[in-house]
């Protein structure tokens, strides 16, 4: 007795000839599997969607259809499904795309290479990201100011996600006291410039990413040049002077700014997106910088080591959402986290009409004037 495969299968070379003669090849692999390569002019329909979508490509039940998958197993089941639905001229390509390649038959390479398909496979499975979203991430540039407590987790996960170019700006060096929270760095790299240390760790994680490492302090004279060409800016700074300059530059350049801050056991995150008329800016939250006594830094007040990790990861998540235009970014909202209570609280943060940064009477003169506001910081 002949098996089902004997009745339903065709060799790859015979399938190619049939395609030249007008047969329709239907690739029933998942979208992420087809991202690396596929048969030219084949129609891609995941097997789970085949029954509901095939009519869009084969209106006639006598249309010759050749199903294809990775190794020939799913395509055989797909061929059975089509026959059960009334299609009378259906065959499965034996051995799938694996045998097709082995026989040296032509394929067209996908938008992502094999390494990217493997590396980002879990992204590719998400309909909100998929191949198009991953390509968008690969074409994006994120500027991260600070390679410390907030910058470390943000940089690690942005690099892992496949951001095309990650610019990191920091003029500090690794100190042993950093290691309790700044997980980009190691004991062996104490004394090394933070951007150099960050580059070592991040390149080891994902060598596909382009790292633009700037061992310099952001100031009035270079802020626009450093942010130019960015798609998203992440604030991982630890002082008000830098934050005020970042805010002013993002307003001038119309760039979304992902804000994060930590203090002892609490942290907060928000997004200031000057591309939208109703978005607040950083100075809607802090119109004037608080005194050093009212806002001591980590070296003075201390900080729970894991706290910057939580806040930095939220910043990375917001950045990815902005790059992909998915979800609801934290625009007009301040997300506050209390580590001791293990609780999140969300506060409304509307645009302030009297804000000195973005209000109706706000006037930008120069970055030098912005820096003077924070000279006491």
Query: Is the four-CA dihedral 290, 293, 297, 301 of positive or negative sign?
Result: negative
Q: Which residues contact 377 (CB under 8 A, 6 or more apart)?
A: 239, 240, 241, 289, 292
Inside any domain, residue 368: yes
Asked whether residue 104 is domain-assigned, the answer is yes
Q: Please state the rounded mean pLDDT for residues 87-100.
A: 96
Say if residue 185 is in the same domain as residue 126.
Answer: yes
Q: Domain boundary residue among 110, 139, 166? A: 110
Q: What is the 3-state secondary structure (H, E, C) of 107-176?
A: CEECCCCHHHHHHCHHHHCCCCCHHHHHHHHHCCEEEEECCCCCHHHHHHHHHHHCCCEEEEECCCECCH
Cα–Cα distance between 178 and 146 in angstroms, integer?
13
Quick one: 256 and 284 in the same domain? yes
Residue 210 lies in a domain: yes
Q: Are residues 165 and 69 in the same domain?
A: no
Let me know if 336 is a catalytic residue.
Answer: no
How confident is residue 2, by pLDDT bands cut at 50, 70 and 90? very low
Report if residue 116 sits inside a domain: no
**What is the rounded average pLDDT for all residues in the chain?**
93
Number of domains in the chain: 2
Q: What is the DSSP letter of 290?
A: P
| Burial (CB count within 10 angstroms: exposed 0-12, middle 13-18, buried 19+), residue 300 | exposed
Residue ranges making up the domain that contains 57: 4-110
Same domain, 194 and 308: yes
**344 pairs with which residues across the strands?**
337
pTM over 0.85: no
Tokens read off for 2: 């002949």
Q: Per-residue pLDDT tens for 166-207?
A: 999 999 999 999 999 999 999 999 999 999 999 999 999 999
Name the active-site residue from 298, 336, 355, 374.
Answer: 298
Percent of the chain's residues with pLDDT above 90? 85
Asked whether the beta carbons of 171 and 215 are under 8 A apart, the reply is: yes
Q: Do residues 339 and 304 touch, judged by C-beta distance below 8 A?
A: yes
């Amino acid at each position: 007795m002949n098996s089902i495969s004997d009745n339903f299968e065709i060799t790859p070379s015979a399938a190619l000839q049939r395609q030249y003669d007008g047969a329709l090849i239907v690739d029933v692999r998942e979208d992420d599997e087809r991202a690396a390569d596929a048969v030219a002019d084949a129609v891609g329909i995941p097997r789970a969607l085949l029954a509901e979508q095939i009519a869009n490509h084969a209106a006639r039940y006598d249309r010759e259809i050749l199903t294809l998958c990775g190794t020939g197993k799913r395509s055989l089941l797909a061929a059975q499904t089509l026959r059960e639905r009334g299609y009378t001229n259906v065959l499965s390509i034996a051995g799938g795309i694996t045998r097709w390649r082995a026989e040296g038959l032509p394929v067209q390479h996908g938008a992502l290479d094999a390494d990217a398909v493997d590396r980002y496979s879990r992204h590719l499975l998400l309909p909100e990201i998929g191949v198009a979203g991953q390509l968008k991430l690969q074409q994006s540039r994120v500027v991260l100011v600070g390679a410390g407590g907030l910058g470390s987790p943000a940089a690690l996960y942005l690099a892992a996600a496949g951001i095309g170019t990650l610019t990191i700006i920091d003029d500090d060096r690794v100190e042993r006291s950093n290691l309790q929270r700044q997980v980009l760095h190691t004991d062996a790299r104490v004394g090394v410039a933070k951007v150099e240390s960050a580059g070592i760790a991040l390149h080891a994680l994902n060598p596909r990413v382009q790292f633009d490492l700037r061992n310099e302090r952001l100031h009035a004279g270079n802020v626009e040049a450093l942010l130019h060409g960015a798609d998203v800016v992440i604030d991982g700074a630890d002082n008000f002077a830098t934050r005020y300059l970042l805010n002013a530059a993002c307003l001038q350049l119309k760039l979304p700014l992902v804000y994060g801050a930590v203090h002892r056991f609490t942290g907060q995150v928000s997004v200031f997106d000057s591309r939208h008329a109703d978005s607040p800016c950083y100075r809607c939250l802090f119109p004037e910088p608080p005194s050093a006594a009212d806002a001591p830094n980590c070296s003075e007040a201390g900080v729970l080591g894991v706290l910057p990790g939580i806040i930095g990861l939220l910043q990375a998540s917001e950045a990815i959402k902005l790059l992909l235009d998915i979800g609801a970014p934290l625009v007009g909202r301040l997300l506050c986290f209390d580590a001791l209570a293990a609780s999140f609280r969300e506060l409304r943060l509307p645009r302030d009409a009297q804000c000195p940064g973005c209000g109706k009477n706000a006037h930008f003169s120069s970055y030098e004037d912005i820096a003077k506001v924070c000279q006491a910081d």
